[in-house]
Amino acid sequence: VAGIVTGAGLVDPAFGSGYAPNAFVLTRNFSDILWASPQYISDYNLSLTNNSYGSALNDCAYIGDYNGTSAALDQMMRDYPSLLHVFSAGNSGGTFCTPYPAGYATVAGGYQSAKNLLTVGAILITDAIASFSSRGPVEDGRLKPEVVAYGAARFSTFPNNTYTSNSGTSFSSPATMGMAALLYQRYRQLHNDSLPDAALIKNVICNGADDLGTTGPDYTYGFGRINGVRSVEILESNHYASVSVNDQQFVTKTFSVPAGEASIDVMLLWTDPAAAPYETVSLVNDLDLIVISPAGDTLKPWRLNYTPAGVTLAATTGSDHVNNYEQVTIQTPIAGTYTIRVKGYQVLMGPQLAWLSWDIQHTSIKVQSPDGGEIFKPGDVNLPNDKQYIRWDAYGTGSSTFTVEYKTTVGGAWTTVATNIPANRRYQDWFTPNIPTDKFKVRVTASNGMQDSSDFYAVIMSPPGNLTASSPCNGYVQMSWDPVVSADHYVIYLLKNEKLDSLTSTTATSITSGGFAPDSSVWVTVAGAFAS
């Protein structure tokens, strides 16, 4: 779990690279981290917690309950507005909680059912829902999980400097928390090191997610798969604002949309006061969102049917008096000024601070991975773990299919990976070719002519084999390794302050280095390199 958040990939970048390698991690047993959070905010500037656990996970009498724990967490996030708790939704997707269809209404109760924290489900690397992933609604009909992330057969760090794979929402949750850590960092860079409101970060994570499943949010995928690029671009483009709303008050904000955009998602989200445990409806302050188009059309938010007969149905639109987040989606928007109107439908404990964001999806294709800087080993079709995934975003491409290609030289021809990729898919699996290069790029083309390629070059090179290291005398390290095809020279790295620092280089396949502190332990490694 910690490796998914902060793994540096020092032993194997393919398996061990986390989202935020330089983050500072505190580990506690079970829920101790929650109740220690106020003290850790003071002692360590704690911003986020990841929580890969739950209580009574397969007990239908407890699943989805808003109880005293839920209320305490909601109140804590009101008291400490920059603190975001992230929770795994639970692995009870195989549970049947009558009268709901199999798998639904299985989100864990207590922790996961709190309103203000972020609850995360799990998907396969192919974007399909993991069969074990718990689904909503929670007891009072609210949407949970809010988002999903890759959490099945996921490799990460394991004791004794090794890696292993495992499956569960326990692994999609830290992925989301690691991404959230980067959003916190980016916000601080943009705002003189000031911390963001956790509700803003939750807002841009939900609003920037890629819709999966039925159109609009649903009880399986929430608002969709996390997309850090979309989320951070909302922050960087200042496409967000705070509003303060009292009971029966109207507050408006406007934003402009140029011609030719593919779609818009507008989200309203607020940190709601804690409710009394086991209330039929846990929402305390109820805000309403509508968007008025330049043509004067009133656009209402998504609304889900939380009855047992309705949980599998696609979202419709209308007033939502259940959730403390609402989203309006506008397909093929016309150009002009849009007005966001927020009403304090029932604000019992006001004024209520809320966050708005608007994510304008440009008509385009954007290669997401590999986009440059990655280092790949040549793939082996006989080793399933060598399989890689090319990913892209595409908006406004309609029913167009996709073609994926790669090239390994600056002026070389493109080689086809796959054609006629379905219009609703945004990935292609493949095995990296056994072609050593530092000029590797991929390209994605829609059948309507839209196209994008990697912004920068990636590298394909095998790691040196049979690396050995010994100490011929105190303060010295002697290393040797097998040659690597196409390597011009080799760079020796030393693990220092949790990072690999370049120590020296050589064109040979062995080296002796000195100057180390006598009777000390050091970690060293070697990598092949191309000529500059």
pLDDT (average), residues 377-390:
88
CB contact at 8 A, 261 and 333: yes
Return the amino acid letter for 16. G
**Among the listed residues 219, 222, 273, the one whose alpha carbon sits nearest the alpha carbon of residue 66:** 273
Using H for helix, E for strand and C for coil, what is the string for 123-171?
Answer: ECCCCCECCCCCCCCCCCCCCCCCEEEECCCEEEEECCCEEEEECCHHH
Q: What is the pLDDT of residues 336-382, one digit of tens each?
A: 999 999 999 999 999 999 999 999 999 999 999 999 999 999 988 88
Strand, helix or coil for residue 332? coil
The torsion angles phi and psi of 518, rounded to 5 degrees, stand at: -55, 145
Residue 15 — very low, low, confident or very high, per pLDDT cuts 50/70/90?
confident
User: Average of pLDDT values for 388-402?
Assistant: 96
The string of pLDDT tens digits covering residues 140-160 is: 999 999 999 999 999 999 999
Please give the full DSSP string across 245-303, using - where no structure is assigned.
Answer: E-TT-EEEEEEEE-TT--EEEEEEEE-PPPPPTT-S----EEEEEEEE-TT--EEPPEE
Q: Is the dihedral of CA 43, 48, 50, 54 positive or negative?
A: positive
> 448 falls in which pLDDT band (50, 70, 90)?
very high
Closest-CA residue to 360 (of 324, 397, 335, 380): 335
pLDDT at 471 over 90: yes
516 in Cβ contact with 476 (< 8 Å): yes
CA 368 from centroid of its chain's CA atoms: 13
**For residue 368, how many other CB atoms are within 10 A of its CB?**
17
* Distance of alpha carbon 156 from alpha carbon 164, whole angstroms: 6
- Cα 214 to Cα 21, 109, 170, 223, 311: the distances in Å are 35, 25, 24, 10, 11
For residue 515, give both structure tokens: 């100057």
Cα gap 167→170, rounded to integer Å: 8
- Counting residues of the chain whose pLDDT is more than 90, the rounded percentage is 92
Q: Answer for the pair 34, 85: CB distance below 8 angstroms, yes or no.
A: yes
Q: What is the pLDDT of residues 72-122, one digit of tens each?
A: 999 999 999 999 999 999 999 999 999 999 999 999 999 999 999 999 999
Average model confidence (pLDDT) across the chain = 96
The rounded percent of the chain whose pLDDT value lies above 70 is 100
Give the contacts of 50 (CB within 8 A, at least 6 positions apart).
1, 5, 86, 173, 174, 177
CB 283 within 8 A of CB 323: yes
3-state secondary structure of 335: coil
Q: Indicate if the alpha-carbon torsion angle 9, 10, 13, 16 is positive or negative.
A: negative
If you search the block for the tokens 């006629």, which residue do you land on?
A: 420
The rounded distance, in Å, linking the Cα atoms of 287 and 285 is 6
Maximum CA pair distance of the chain? 81
List the one residue out of 469, 17, 482, 498 whose CA is nearest residue 490. Answer: 482
C-beta of residue 212 within 8 angstroms of C-beta of residue 225: yes
Confidence (pLDDT) at 498: 83
Q: How many residues does the chain have?
A: 532
Report how far apart, in Å, the C-alpha atoms of 491 and of each of 8, 112, 382, 437 are: 18, 47, 30, 16
Q: Tell me the average pLDDT across 253-267.
A: 97
CB 399 within 8 A of CB 423: yes
Question: Over the Cα atoms of the chain, what is R_g?
Answer: 25
The tokens for 200 are 């803003």
Rounded Cα distance, 165 and 429, in Å: 19
Instruction: Give strand pairing partners of 123.
Output: 129, 150
Look up tokens 């309705």; give the residue.
310
Whether the predicted pLDDT of 307 surpasses 90: yes
Contact 52, 34 (CB under 8 A): no
CB-CB contact of 200 with 355 (8 Å): yes
Q: Is the pLDDT of residue 287 over 80?
A: yes
Predicted local distance difference test score (pLDDT) of residue 383: 83
